[in-house]
Amino acid sequence: MVIEVGSRRADFIVDNSVVIELKALIDLEDVHLAQAKNYVVAYNLPLGLLINFGATSLQYKKVFTTNFKINNS
């Protein structure tokens, strides 16, 4: 039996290799970085970008995981 606990939805996935998570906040917090990293891990992608357009200047963070596994199927 499978029980769905939740769902996830990244803002953009580019070329099946980069997760883009967009924000419009005064400042990024650790919880936003954790969310972006969770998307990278959950989708098993090598790279993510967290971009915030809401601050006085553009903020961005590169997100990656050491647990990335190449699917050879």
In this prediction, residue 69 has a pLDDT band, given cuts at 50, 70 and 90, of confident
**What is the C-alpha separation between 57 and 73, in angstroms, rounded?**
42
Query: H/E element holding 38?
Result: helix 30-42
pLDDT at 73 over 60: no
**What is the reported pLDDT for 13?**
93
Average pLDDT over residues 4-27: 88
**What is the C-alpha separation between 33 and 40, in angstroms, rounded?**
11
**What is the reported pLDDT for 5?**
59
Which single residue is written with the structure tokens 């809401």? 54
pTM: 0.80
